[in-house]
Structures are given as C-alpha cells and as structure tokens.
Amino acid sequence: MSRRHRYRLGCDIGGTFTDFLLDDPATGGFRVHKVLTTPDDPSAAVDAGIAELEAEIDGGTNLMAATDYLIHGTTLVINAVIQRKGARTAILTTQGFADCLEMRREIRYDIYDIGAVYPTPLIERPYRYEVPERLYADGAVRQALDEDAVRAVFQRMLDDGIESAAVVLLHAYANPAHERRVAEIAAEAAPGIAITLSSDVMPEIKEFERTSTAAVNAYVKPLVARYIARLEERLAARGFRDGLYLMLSSGGVIAPDTARAHPVRLIESGPVGGALAAARLGAMAGDGNVLMFDMGGTTAKSCLIRDGGVPIANTYEVDRVHRFKRGSGTPIGVPTVDVIEIGAGGGSIAAVDGMGLLSVGPESAGADPGPACYGRGGVRPTVTDADLVLGYLDADYFLGGAMRLDTEAARRAITRDLADPLDMPLLDAAWGVHEIVNENMAAAIRMYVTEKGGDLGGAAVVAIGGAGPVHAADFARRLGARRLLVPRGAGVYSALGFLVAPVAFEAARTKLTPLTGADAGEIEVIFETLEAETAQIVENAVPGADIGFSRAADVRYVGQGGTLRIEMPAAATPAAIESAFLAAYSARYGAAYDDMAAQIVTYRVTACAVQEQRDLTLPFAADGGLDAASKGERPAFCPERRRMVPHRVYAMDRLPAGATVAGPAIVEEDSSTLVVGAGAEIRVDGRGWLTVTLADTGAAS
Amino acid sequence: MSAAPQFDPVTLQVLWSRAISITDEMATTLMQTAFSTVVRDNHDFAVGLYDAEGDLLAQANQSTPGQLYCMQRVMRDLLEAHPAETLAPGDVLIANDPWLGSGHTPDVFIATPTFRGDEIVGFGVTCAHHTDIGGRLAAPDAREVYEEGLILPICKLYERGEPNALLFQLIERNVRIPERIIGDLRAQMAANHFGGERLVAFLDDTGLERLSDLTQAVVAQTEQTMRNAIADLPDGTYTHAVELEEEDAEGARLEIRLTLTVKGDEIDIDYAGTSAQVALPINSVLNMTTAYSVFAIKCALNPHTPNNKGTSAPVRVTAPEGCLLNPVFPVAVMHRTAIVFYCVQAIFEALAAARPDRVMAPCGTYPLWVERFAGKADDGTPYVGAFNAQGGQGARAEKDGVSTTVFPANVASTSIELLEAEAPLLCDHKRLIPDSGGAGRQRGGLGQEVVLRNLAREDALLSLSGGRFHIAAPGMAGGGAGALGRIRIGDAPPEGRRRQVLLATETAASFAYPGGGGHGPAFERDPAKVLADVRLGYVTAERARTDYGVVLTDDATAIDADATARLRAAPPLSPD
C-alpha cells in the first residue's frame, strides 16, 4: 500500500481482556493497552479502550482520525459457538439427510471410555428441514429442485422465527446450481433470513464435514453482521474514516464485507498473532524455518514455519467436549493457521496418576485459584510452582515484581502431592514436573509435525509467552533443536503479529484432475478463476493495491486418503506438478512409485496485497556493558548435576548489542524469564532479540 | 509388582509418552498414505511398536480394539517363524492367518524390523483391514475359511529391500482391485518405516541401549493398575448367558455362556458351555474372543490407562476348543463380530450385578454392520467397497445411550458422498429412527435407517451383515429393549439369514439399524426429558405415554402433569 500511515492500531478481543497495540511508525514506538472485555457488546470495550488510549497519548489528538489502519481480531465467533449464543438457525438439506449433522461420523474419540458424550448439534432437529432434489456425485441432476417445497420451507422458517439458514445439498461441491437457486428463492420468500451456502463456505466432498462448517457459518452470521455494524458506528463516531480490517483464522486480514459473508473464517484469530510474529522474527533473524513455541498459563501453542510461510490447515475442530481429544468437537473446513494447542501451561496441575507415575495436566489451576505459590487459594502443585522451586523464577520479580510468589507454599504443595508419595527428593520431583510438561508438549508437536509431513530439521525455536522462555531450552532439546530465538517482550510478543498480517484471502476448489495426460489449459483455467475471485475480495479491501498470488494443489495417488500440498509457480505444467509431488512423497514416506497415477484433488489460491513489512522489535537502547545488565547470581537447578548451581542473572532490557553470555544463566524481563544451562551461549542481537545456542548433549532423561 | 528399578516415575512417564507418540505418528502416516476408504476414512487398523524380543511397548490410541489386542500375539508367531537373528535390514514380514492374527483374512499384519547398525532394536507393526483379500467377498454363508480369500503363510513381503515378486503376483492375481490392496500394503510399510526412523532417534536421544527394560517397566506398571482396579470388585463368581439369534444347523439358537470369577486382583473368564462352532462365518478365534473380553473389563474398570499386555495379564480367558469362541481350523470366521461383540454384553451384564454404575446396557451396535458390495459401473470400471453405519449404544447409569455410534469396535461410518463418488450406488436417505432407543430412566441410543440403491445396469453383489433381527438389545436394571434391526431387498426380506444378494438396477436395499437398551425403569425418567425427546422426534408422543408414562398435551408441547401422575401411579404394563 502506498498510503502514508500515521497510526496503526491492532485490537484483539479475548475472553477476558481486549488488547490494544498502537503502532506509531513515525517514532517506531509501540504502545500496549488492555481493558476488560464486555461480552454483551464487545464493541463497547473497543470504544472504551480507544478512549483510554487517546487520553494516554497526548490528550488533544483525535486518535481515530489519525489512524488509517485498524486490524481487529475477535473471539466473538468461537465464543458464540462454545456458549451456544448464536442465531436461531436452520438447515435446509436434501430430502433424507436432515440427521447428518447429528449423526456425525459414528466413531468414538476414546475407545475405552463408555461414559463419553458428544457435542450437542448447533442446530436442533426440528429446525433441520428437507426438500426434494438430488444430484449425482458428478454434479448431474437426478431429481430437479422442488422449488415449491423450498418456498414452503422458508415459510415454515419464518413461522419458527429462524434468523439464519445453512443450505447444504448433497454433492453441491460438484455443482452448486441447486444451492444457488435456493438462495434466489430465499431472497424473495424470506429476505430477512441470512443464507449460507455449503458450496460457498466449503466446496469439498464429505457431507458431515461440509454440513458442520456451513452450520457454524450460519449460526454466527447475524451476530457478526450486527457486531461489525455496531463497531463501524462507534468508530465513525470517534472520527475513524476508513481502514477497518478483520483478522481471519488463516492469518490474513480482510474488509468487513467479506467477513460478514464468511464469518466462519474469523473463528480463531487469537493464536494467529503468535505465528505471524514468529514468522516475522525468523525473517528478521535471517531464518525462514522456525518453530513458534508460545507457552502461557493454561495452554501452549506451537506452529512450524517453513520458508517464512505460516502453515495453513484446511480442517479445524472447535468446541470439543474434551478440549485436547481430537474428534470430540465440531469440525470446520476453512483455512486456518495450523497452530497446535496443547494442554500444558504454567497453571497445569501435577499429580501422581492412577499408574503411580508423575503426570502433569491437562487440568489447570488457571489464574484462579492459580498455582500454590500465587497464594490465592490454590493448593495443588503446578508447573509454575515447580519452576519457582527450581530457581527458574524469582519470587520477587514475577511479572516484573507486580506479584510476589510464595516459594514455601510451592515447596509444600510439591512435597505433599508429589515428592512424598513418590518417595523422591523435592528437587527431583520439581524437575520431574518441568521435564514431563516439556515432554508432553514435545510429543504433541512431534505428532503435529508428522501430520504436516514436516521435519523439524534445523529449525530454531522462537520462545514466547510468559512460560515459553522458561521451558524452551529443555523443550527444544527434546525435539532435537539446538537454537532458540527469544524476542524482547516475549511475554506479549504474539500481539505484535496482528500488525504484520497481510490483506489476503484464500479460495479452494475440489476438482479431481489426473496428472498423466492432463490438459494444462484446464488446470490453468481453474487457477485463473480462483485468482479472479480472490483478487476481487482483496481489491475490495485495498483498492488499487498490487496483488500477488500463490498457487498450491493438494495432490495424491489416485484413491489415496491423504494429500500433499504442492506449492507451484504460475503456469506449472502437469508434468512439473507430478514430479514435484513424487519428490515430496519420496522425501516424506521413503519411496515413491511410478506404477501409480497421481491426481490433483483440490486447487488453492491465495491473493495477497503487496505491502511493506514493518520491523517487529521493541525499541531498546542499552549502551552500558554486560556488567550494567547484571543482576547478580541465584541458585537454580542443573539437571545434569541434579542439584542447584549458581546461575548469573541479567536484565534483558540492559543487555548490550553484540554481547555474549555463557550458561548457566537467567535473563529476566517483566513478561518472561529465559533460563539456559551450562554449555549454552546467548548472543544479544542489536535489533532486540537473543539467539541461544544450546549445548549438544542429546535430549534430557 | 512395581516398575523396574532403573526407571523412576518421572523417567518412565517421559519415555512411555514418547513411545506412544511414535505409534500415533505411525497411525497418521498409515491414514495419509492408505488407498482404501476402510483405512483412511473408517480407521479400521491398529499400530504398535515392539521391542527386539517381540514384546509390545506401545500402541497407537487411534486403533480398533480387536486388532489392538491380537497384534500382541502376532509378533511372537512371526518371530518363531523368522527368528530375529535371521532377519536383515530391508526385510518385511507379512501374515494374515486368522488363527494367528485377529480372526479373519482381510486383517493383514505387516512387521518391519528396525536396525541400528547390525542390531535389531525393535519392530514397527501395523494391521490394516483390507478392502478385499479374494474369495467370495466376505460371503455371509461361507462354511470354510477357504472361501474367505487368501491365507498368506508367515513370510517375507520384502527381503533385504527386494520385493517378493511371486507373493505380489499371487496377491495381484487373487484380489478384485489389486492396486488398492498393494497400495495399502505399501502404506503399512511406509508407517513401519516411519516408526523405525523415530525409534532409532528415540534410542539415540535417550541413550537407551534397548527397549526391553522399558517394555517390562511399562507392562509391570500397567498390570499393577489393572490389578488394583480388579481388587476393588467384590470377590465372587458371576454367571451369565446370552442367547444369540444365530442358529446352528438344526435351527437351534446359539448361546454364549460366561462364568466370570473375581478373586483378589485377578479375573477368570470362562466360556464353557458356549455353543459349538458352526459352519457359518461367525466363529471367533480365541485371540479375538480374548481381545474383546479384556476390552470389556478395561472399559468397565480401568479405561484411562494405555493398553499393552499388562492390561490382559490379570485376566485369564478360556473357551473350550471347538466352541463358537475358540473354533478349530478350517471353519469360516469372516464375520466374527456377529458373535464376539456379545462377549462384551455378557461381561457387562455379569458385572452389572456388582457395579451397575460402571457398565452400559446392551448395544444395538452388537453385531457390527458392514455391508460389502462389488460390481461394475456402466463404463466397465470394477468397484468394491464396504458401507459402514451403526445402530445405537446402550444407556449408561447416568447418561442416555449414544445414538448411531460404533461400539465396541471403532470404525467410522461411510460418507454418503464418498460412497457415491466411488461406486454407482445412491443413498435415498439416512436418518434416525424414532422410538428405536430402549426406554429407560436413561434412554438407549437411537438406531438409523439407510436405503441404498444400485444405479448401474449390472447387478451389484451385496454381502449382508448385521443382526438383532429377532433379539433386540435388552435393557439393564429395569430398562426397556431397543428396536430390532431389519433388512429389505426391494420390498422383501432377504431369503435366509446370512446371504449375498444381487441388487438389480434401480433396486433398493434398506437397512434399519437397531437401537440400544435403556437403563433403569422408564417410568422413573424425568418427564421434562421425555418431553424434550418428543420435541426432538426421538420419541413419539404415543410411546411417551405407553413406555414412559408421560402424558403430553394435545399439541405435544407440554406435560399434562395430572394425567402423568395418574398413569405413573399405576403399575407399568409388563413389556411384551
């Protein structure tokens, strides 16, 4: 974009806090602000926060009039689904299939648990209406759409007070004509009902997954439309003219109109920021391959970034009955930054399990009552308690000293619940908590990397979040990683990601195309159609912008279940696509076969407005020597020697550029603490991050 | 018993989780590279990691229980036939003998030794249910296992990295869609290969020399928790019989007889008195019988720990040779789930005497329903596949039964759109059946009705499965029975009980999947829940009155409290 920015504002509505990040490119300064979220009307918190920020800056300025880029993320969609607070929603589907949403895939997510329950369908049985019509799998019409029946259904919906409807007809991914005709009829018969077509939100085969996705979109559509309208009103009242963008789960941002049409694409913008910020940090550090590791109080999140790109998954699961059990939730098939969430954080509770072994999480003490050391009524030992006992945290400098920790309470909890029953020394039990939570996270991430067909290779670990840098060294060793990148402001770093999100939109089309003997022209036409579609959406968001496209295809051997995503340049020949597939397949599975035919399953295009990239560094100006940064020494646990040894302690914001620090050492800042052991070396980069090279000792344990 | 001394409770937890995570990664690889819907979309497979001695260390969480248990036995047999010292890098072993493995020929086990240097450090093993293994396409009237496709002797599929060409030719010549079968074998090898790489990295990282110490510690720990759980049950002998609707040659109904003895921290399960094996493909080899017996005990007593041979160590399962649950070669065995799932019912019903809160009422999902089909599309392309859908589960003491969800196996239903894209079949409808869940304080899960139609000019061959056509899933603790199952070809029931039928063009086969049994007296169900069931169409107003004693207003939107109180005060009619 060529427009000159004054202020850029990132605003993320979370469950508890609404966070603001104000970026003043003129000074290079960032300002972070938080207000309590207002669940009944989330735009009220946005409004209040803006007012407070305005007062903070320099009183007189009209902040919003001077802001021409506002990136907004919201948990509105996910919360509406989880709390079942969406619109009164209906499904209109092919006769005979109204129960699809409720019958799911008929498989259990836990093979031994006979007490298992499954999510209540978003749309109740009485509001799942059927109409006569039928397509064959190739999209040909078997039975014409009964338009009178469609009209009658919309009349019943009006009588039932329906506000929003998902139209899901069998095989609509192959031929959307019947669904589109239903939309036309709805526009006449029931113009007040918001319509979602399954062929728009997820034009892919498998009726349950598509129904589930369309249902979520329909369920939140009126809510999101009302919310955006209210927000625009409030912003306009404060002088904001133009430049509101909504954060998508796919890591792009888009204009409000597009968000209103595809609200399911907004489902989870929270984890996106960390992934974008880590990718940007990797790029600044000259490293396109990094593993984002963001460990907070309740969960840890991770994301593998390769060649600078944030990975995108095309299926996602929300509203799980068991938060960390796959298959226990509602699947949605929209592009989403592929971030894995693990039930491991500072608040994770440690206990002796039914096997007589030490286990950690997924149960969490959260912030209330919190870890035993918070002294707020929590008595069960947590990861934070273990970190405190191990000397990794400073009882007097937690959150920069804003909260004093009770070390004795932590020792008591670990002794009573872990060390005594296991007949282990206190420190060994505490270290056990530390390494088990690390192994839990590492195990989940190994699985995640495998599913993506990836290899951690030499990826550096970007350690962020309050607990991330505390656990990063041992965690990284378990994954075979030897290098950490720790940014200044690690504890709040993910918020910065909003400011580097591109204006971008992805579209996909399922069309089985055999690669042998394929018509290059046919492939090109599909890609060009998708480019035209996505370009229009991006152009609408950023008029006049230069738009770049990236193309990919999901390719497999004919008949196979999984696909490999193959990125390709424009006008790639079928032969080139096939050989890229064979190479990728062989690299991943050990062998490729020339006696099996390959085919494209899904075409994917992302259109992205070309924008300049903002550096993501918090300003710092340390000009003293290493001594000026020193905060002395304190004892902390050394796993190799299994006892406390002295660690030098430094203040992160006083470390001078170019300095190196040898482990064992601790580097503190308000929002987080980095701990490294003997043999590790920390280098201070001039632009605000630390590069840690770990000792080559093999994984712990 | 306690963990081997060299592992403290922290280290053991760390190493154990990592071993399980390797098998989960193998399972992912298998699903992503498999060609058949059965593996990739229905998840009909199992994955394990073994030590060099052939003992199971860890299994993937996402596996089906029958194969999970049986694969522990398979490795021993493979190593007996091909001792570890005779194996070389690049060797791959294969087996599918029902009496060695999981009780029917389509389940093919592939084991790949993992070498570190010259030494075997472990084995990656996968079992996958293949779409076809030859023979009469899972003929429901088969008498001998010879009719059920190829039985591969334990042999090498690859030797030192070279494919066993003769074996591949043999398979290709004997199955309906060779590229899919070969593709799935390759997927199994890819998963094992992947597991091997991970295993070597695991040993390198942890400094472990070998896995066997870890296996022993893991097994000991698992066994101890299982023993603790069993010890919580009161000692005693519980006997139970389940009458089956399957019949012997003389037309007499078959029966499972169970004597379950709890003594201290051990359970003895004996099937003495169970009917003799029959010349039908429903016999369950002892491996499979043991698999589902141990599974039932684990579900009831100790569901939340990882599974390995420690789970089964304190549970002894015996069945007389030559009975339905321990049949003698070469009797047919393909549809063993028609019988063996009732072992779970027998055990749950027996345990209900001691712990009704820990078990579920009998399910409409016994037996498993898998309709296999084959034929030719109008363009001459052959097709073969399986259609999975299931009935309702039994109610639990505190919860309603789950509708249309598989149990105790764990395979997903077939997507209608995928089915129609891969075969010239068309589904008229797939919907829940009102009133099919057994009435009870907790209601049984609902069954469903599916109608499939042949679109091709050529007849489709359909191998019918399913059951509960005559004996519904009974209730538990006073609960009512679920609805019966039913199959129609066109308008008529299929002739005979177990058979293959030809489905002519535009002819429909309709399947009503049975409901699960209820738990507790239906007259004790909260009327508000009954009203909600009526509103959602799970229960009709008529049955709300007759089964639950709940009278609704004429528009069925509210409870008529007085009429309900009067009706419920009267003794409930005895179920017919």
> What is the arithmetic mean of pLDDT over A162-179?
96
pLDDT surpassing 90 at residue B47: yes
Residues of B in contact with A599 (CB under 8 A): none
> What is the arithmetic mean of pLDDT over B348-367?
95
pTM: 0.88
Please report where in the chains the tokens 């070969």 appear, as a residue.
B182
pLDDT, tens digit, for every residue of A86-97? 999 999 999 999
Residue B417 has its nearest CB partner, among A171, A446, A596, at: A171
Same fold, A7-81+226-266 and A504-609: no
Query: How many percent of chain A have pLDDT more than 90?
Result: 51
Q: Residues of A numbered 42-101 whose beta carbons fall under 8 angstroms of chain B's beta carbons: which are they?
A: 95-100
Cα A635 from Cα B416, distance rounded (Å): 63
Q: Do A99 and B430 touch (CB under 8 A)?
A: yes
- CB-based burial of residue A442 (10 Å sphere; 0-12 exposed, 13-18 middle, 19+ buried)? buried
Residue A161 has a CB neighbour count (10 Å cut-off) of 9
Lowest-pLDDT range of A2-6, A39-43, A414-418, A598-602? A2-6
> What is the arithmetic mean of pLDDT over B375-400?
94
- CB-based burial of residue A113 (10 Å sphere; 0-12 exposed, 13-18 middle, 19+ buried)? middle
Q: Which residues of B64-99 are buried (b: 16+ CB within 10 A; e: fewer)?
A: bbbbbbbbbbbbebbbeebeeeebeeebbbbbbbbb
* Torsional class of B286: left (φ above 0), alpha (ψ -120 to 50), beta (otherwise): alpha
A65's tokens = 């009039």
The pLDDT score that the predictor gives to residue B157 is 97
Q: Which is higher by pLDDT, A450 or B544?
A: B544
- Domain spanning A272-343+438-500: CATH 3.30.420.40: yes
Give A343's pLDDT tier (boundaries 50, 70, 90). confident
The pLDDT score that the predictor gives to residue B257 is 98
Question: B321 CA to chain A: closest CA distance, Å?
Answer: 29
The pLDDT score that the predictor gives to residue A616 is 64
The ipTM estimated for the assembled molecules is: 0.92
Give A18's pLDDT tier (boundaries 50, 70, 90). confident
Query: What does the mean pLDDT of chain A come to?
Result: 88
Q: Do B417 and A105 touch (CB under 8 A)?
A: no
The pLDDT score that the predictor gives to residue A642 is 92
Cα A270 from Cα A498, distance rounded (Å): 10
Q: Do B180 and A478 touch (CB under 8 A)?
A: no
pLDDT surpassing 50 at residue B475: yes
The pLDDT score that the predictor gives to residue A2 is 32
pLDDT surpassing 90 at residue A668: yes
Does any CB of chain B come closer than 8 Å to the CB of residue A110? yes
Q: Residues of A numbered 159-178 whose beta carbons fall under 8 angstroms of chain B's beta carbons: which are they?
A: 170-171, 173
Residues comprising chain A, all counted: 701
Q: Which is higher by pLDDT, A161 or A671?
A: A161
The pLDDT score that the predictor gives to residue B573 is 58
Q: Do B179 and A559 touch (CB under 8 A)?
A: yes
- CB-based burial of residue A641 (10 Å sphere; 0-12 exposed, 13-18 middle, 19+ buried)? exposed
Identity of the residue numbered B269:
I
Q: Which residues of A207-229 are buried (b: 16+ CB within 10 A; e: fewer)?
A: bbbbbbbbbbbbbbbbbbbebbe
Residue B33 has its nearest CB partner, among A443, A589, A701, at: A589
Q: Which is higher by pLDDT, B206 or B364?
A: B364
Does any CB of chain B come closer than 8 Å to the CB of residue A352? yes
Cα A6 from Cα A215, distance rounded (Å): 40
> What is the arithmetic mean of pLDDT over A594-615?
84
Q: Residues of A numbered 453-492 whose beta carbons fall under 8 angstroms of chain B's beta carbons: which are they?
A: 453, 478, 480
Give B2's pLDDT tier (boundaries 50, 70, 90). very low
Q: Do B432 and A110 touch (CB under 8 A)?
A: no
Q: Supply angle C-alpha A422, A425, A426, rounded to 5.
A: 95
Q: Do A142 and B28 touch (CB under 8 A)?
A: no
Helices (H), A238-323: 256-261, 272-284
B337's tokens = 């789930």
Query: How many percent of chain A have pLDDT more than 70?
Result: 94
Does any CB of chain B come closer than 8 Å to the CB of residue A402? no
- Comparing CA positions, the residue from A658, A662, A656, A666 lying closest to residue A693 is A662
Residue A336 has phi, psi (to 5 degrees) of -140, 135
**Residues B485, B490, B496, B500, CA torsion sign:** negative
pLDDT, tens digit, for every residue of A535-577? 998 888 888 889 999 999 989 887 776 678 888 888 889 999 9
- Of the residues B158, B221, B416, B422, the best mutation for testing chain A's interface (the one with the most A CB atoms within 10 Å of its CB) is B416
Does any CB of chain A come closer than 8 Å to the CB of residue B213? no
- CB-based burial of residue B546 (10 Å sphere; 0-12 exposed, 13-18 middle, 19+ buried)? middle
Residue A446 has its nearest CB partner, among B25, B402, B431, at: B25
> What is the arithmetic mean of pLDDT over B63-77?
86
Does any CB of chain A come closer than 8 Å to the CB of residue B237? no
pLDDT surpassing 80 at residue A589: no
- Comparing CA positions, the residue from B153, B154, B201, B149 lying closest to residue B175 is B149
Does any CB of chain A come closer than 8 Å to the CB of residue B312? no
Nearest CA in chain A to B22: A447
- Tell me which range, A6-20, A342-356, B332-346, is most confidently predicted by mean pLDDT: B332-346
Q: Do B13 and A357 touch (CB under 8 A)?
A: yes
The CATH T-level fold of domain A7-81+226-266 is: Nucleotidyltransferase; domain 5 (3.30.420)
> What is the arithmetic mean of pLDDT over A599-624?
77
The pLDDT score that the predictor gives to residue B260 is 98
Q: What is the separation of C-alpha A294 from the centre of its chain, rounded to a whole number of angstroms?
A: 11
Does any CB of chain B come closer than 8 Å to the CB of residue A113? yes
> What is the arithmetic mean of pLDDT over A146-151?
98
Does any CB of chain B come closer than 8 Å to the CB of residue A417? no
Specify whether the CB–CB gap between B56 and B215 falls below 8 A.
Answer: yes
Beginning with the edge strand found earlier in the chain, give each strand of the sheet holding B266-270 in spatial order. B236-247, B253-263, B266-270, B315-318
pLDDT, tens digit, for every residue of A250-286? 888 889 998 999 999 998 777 788 899 999 899 888 8
Give A58's pLDDT tier (boundaries 50, 70, 90). low
pLDDT surpassing 70 at residue A441: yes
Q: Do B430 and A96 touch (CB under 8 A)?
A: yes
Does any CB of chain A come closer than 8 Å to the CB of residue B369? no
Residues of B in contact with A414 (CB under 8 A): none
The pLDDT score that the predictor gives to residue B1 is 40
Cα B347 from Cα B350, distance rounded (Å): 5
- DSSP secondary-structure letter at B144? B
Element (H, E) at B172: helix B165-174
Cα A41 from Cα A51, distance rounded (Å): 16
How many alpha carbons fall within 13 Å on the CB side of residue A464? 29
Does any CB of chain B come closer than 8 Å to the CB of residue A696? no
**Residue A286 CB contacts under 8 Å (≥ 6 apart), including other chains:** none
pLDDT, tens digit, for every residue of B521-568? 999 999 999 999 999 999 999 999 999 999 999 998 999 999 999 999
Provide the number of CB pairs (under 8 Å) joining chain A to chain B.
Answer: 236
Q: What is the separation of C-alpha A119 from the centre of its chain, rounded to a whole number of angstroms?
A: 22
Please report where in the chains the tokens 């290493």 appear, as a residue.
A626
B360's tokens = 């579920």
Work out the end-to-end distance of chain B between its first and last CA atoms, rounded to an integer number of angstroms.
52
Q: Residues of A numbered 499-558 whose beta carbons fall under 8 angstroms of chain B's beta carbons: which are they?
A: 557
Residues comprising chain B, all counted: 576
Residues of B in contact with A593 (CB under 8 A): 186
- For residue B159, the cross-strand partners are B162
**Residues B221, B225, B226, B230, CA torsion sign:** positive
Q: At what angle do helices B541-548 and B527-535 cross, to 10 degrees?
A: 150
Residues of A in contact with B298 (CB under 8 A): 112
3-state secondary structure of B5: coil
Q: Residues of B numbered 29-58 whose beta carbons fall under 8 angstroms of chain A's beta carbons: which are they?
A: 29, 31-37, 39-41, 43
Does any CB of chain B come closer than 8 Å to the CB of residue A591? yes
Work out the end-to-end distance of chain A between its first and last CA atoms, rounded to an integer number of angstroms.
51
> What is the arithmetic mean of pLDDT over A327-344?
87
Cα B440 from Cα A269, distance rounded (Å): 44
pLDDT, tens digit, for every residue of B478-496? 999 999 999 999 988 887 6
Q: Do A359 and B13 touch (CB under 8 A)?
A: yes
What DSSP string describes B10-62? HHHHHHHHHHHHHHHHHHHHHHHH--SHHHHTT--EEEEEEETTS-EEEE-SS
The pLDDT score that the predictor gives to residue B486 is 96
Q: Do B33 and A354 touch (CB under 8 A)?
A: no
3-state secondary structure of A638: strand
The pLDDT score that the predictor gives to residue A472 is 97
Give B574's pLDDT tier (boundaries 50, 70, 90). low
pLDDT surpassing 70 at residue A700: no
The pLDDT score that the predictor gives to residue A567 is 87
The pLDDT score that the predictor gives to residue A1 is 34
- DSSP secondary-structure letter at A123? S
Quick one: CATH architecture of A504-609? 2-Layer Sandwich (3.30)
- Tell me which range, A483-492, A516-525, B520-529, is most confidently predicted by mean pLDDT: B520-529
B410's tokens = 């764990």
The pLDDT score that the predictor gives to residue A701 is 35
Helices (H), A452-503: 468-478
Q: Do A596 and B183 touch (CB under 8 A)?
A: yes
pLDDT surpassing 50 at residue B576: no
Identity of the residue numbered A631:
K
- The residue extents of the domains of chain A are 7-81+226-266, 87-219, 272-343+438-500, 348-436, 504-609, 626-693
**Residue B409 CB contacts under 8 Å (≥ 6 apart), including other chains:** B64, B65, B66, B337, B341, B368
Cα B438 from Cα B522, distance rounded (Å): 9
Cα A275 from Cα A293, distance rounded (Å): 9
Residues of A in contact with B359 (CB under 8 A): 114
Quick one: CATH architecture of A87-219? 3-Layer(aba) Sandwich (3.40)
- Comparing CA positions, the residue from B58, B216, B263, B229 lying closest to residue A355 is B229
> What is the arithmetic mean of pLDDT over A124-151?
97
Q: Do B420 and A447 touch (CB under 8 A)?
A: no
Cα A585 from Cα B193, distance rounded (Å): 14
Q: Residues of A numbered 327-346 whose beta carbons fall under 8 angstroms of chain B's beta carbons: which are they?
A: none
Pairing of β A348-352 and β A358-364: antiparallel
